[in-house]
Structure 1
Amino acid sequence: ELAPGPPHADARAYFEAVPRFWGLDPSGTYPDPLVDLKAGRRAALDAYGKHVAVRPGGRTSA
């Protein structure tokens, strides 16, 4: 789905450039998200928390 208003020429060029088997269509609707925004944010923050977890000796990775 293109943005409202007249599309820029580059936007249409993208749809012409991608492989046809992708099935993309500029008149198609934007797909539903695969991950809920709130759940995705929580997962990212949890992963980040593990990444910067306290190391032995009390130091954090930075």
Structure 2
Amino acid sequence: MTTKTKNLIDDSELCRILDIHRTTLYKWRKKNWIPFYQIGRNIKYDLDEVLEFAKSLN
């Protein structure tokens, strides 16, 4: 059995990668447009899932 290790990143890293403002990311998350994980009080994003999401925007 193989397991895939998720490459989890935070808000600031994701905003830098996608070149978007933090407010934009917050709105996308509130509308459930972007995949995210809530771990306790922290929000994390799987880089691979987010890149797939970004491809769908174009």
TM over 0.5: no
For the pair shown, which has the larger CA radius of gyration, 1 or 2?
1
Q: TM-score, normalised by structure 1?
A: 0.27
Larger helix fraction of residues: 2
Q: Relative contact order: is structure 1 or structure 2 higher (C-alpha 8 Å, sep ≥ 6)?
A: 2
